[in-house]
A = this chain, B = another copy of it.
Amino acid sequence: MNRVNALIAGCLMAIVAAQPAFAAVDREKLLTEPGVFGTFAVFKVDDSWWKLDKAARTFAATEVKAVFQKHGDNIITDTYLLRGLMGKADFFVRVHSTEMLHNQNFLVDLMGTRLGKYLANTYTFNGITKKPNYVPSLPDDLKTALKTPPDPGPKPYAIVVPVRKDAEWWLMPQESRNAMMKEHTEATVAYLKTVKRKLYHASGLDDLDFITYFETAKLDEFNNLIIALERVKENRHNKQFGSPTLLGTIRPMDEILEILAR
């Protein structure tokens, strides 16, 4: 497994290197605070892209990087390679900012680049972060357990699962929902070390109620986590879970551009 570790380490270094020298917006704040808008934009590169000559593609890559930098005052971005693990999709960008308009303006600029003209925007999911709804109602030991820090080290895989709840979920008394979310939360405790999670609320911003985002180094553990979540009663109220599930690897935009340009 040395090779994998080396790969992961290289990957991590590349990610760090890809961060701008000065953070115009506070990355940590945008990734942890409520009231932040997240947009997940999935792209497929058109076949004709590869028929461009090398110089044209190098120019296009430079132009894309400039767009990322130009919007660095308003947004933070993360990029993911889907190619090989998901049909009809090559990569996705996760964009965070305090105003949805910033996300749109960045993506409009990205799609306006020379590369952008070769990108089909297969899916876009929009959501907003909020303070946890259910944590206040959880028993103290579970609250404590939730503070378990994730294992150190890179988590090269990312998974995005869009979710839509049925009407019965929303019409349920708050107490019943609390009880179900307690059961749901308990099922996740065993995986807090190996799987990082982040939740976005999407009702009305998209044909979804939630966007759930995961990072892990251990897909076997992640598979077990999802099975554990399928086994709690709250699962009865998932009208949509995935469809599409995005499974990709975290990669800096440079590496994605390099792969697409091969």
Contact = CB atoms under 8 A, between A and B. Distances in A.
A39 B247 CA distance: 12
Interface stretch (A13-21, A104-112, A142-150): A104-112
Given A81-B104, A100-B85, A112-B259, A126 B1 contact: no
A235 B85 CA distance: 28
A57 to B, nearest CB: 13
Interface string A121-148: 1111010100000000000000000000
Interface string A75-86: 000000101111
A232 to B, nearest CB: 8
A243 B243 CA distance: 13
Interface residues of A, number: 83
A85 to B, nearest CB: 5
A203 interface: yes
A242 interface: yes
B262 A112 contact: yes
A258 to B, nearest CB: 10
Given A8-B101, A85-B103, 4 more contacts: A3-B74, A7-B101, A203-B230, A204-B222
24 contacts: A7-B101, A8-B101, A37-B219, A39-B84, A41-B84, A41-B87, A46-B47, A47-B118, A83-B104, A83-B107, A83-B108, A85-B107, A88-B120, A88-B122, A126-B247, A167-B236, A171-B231, A203-B226, A203-B227, A204-B223, A204-B227, A205-B223, A206-B247, A207-B245
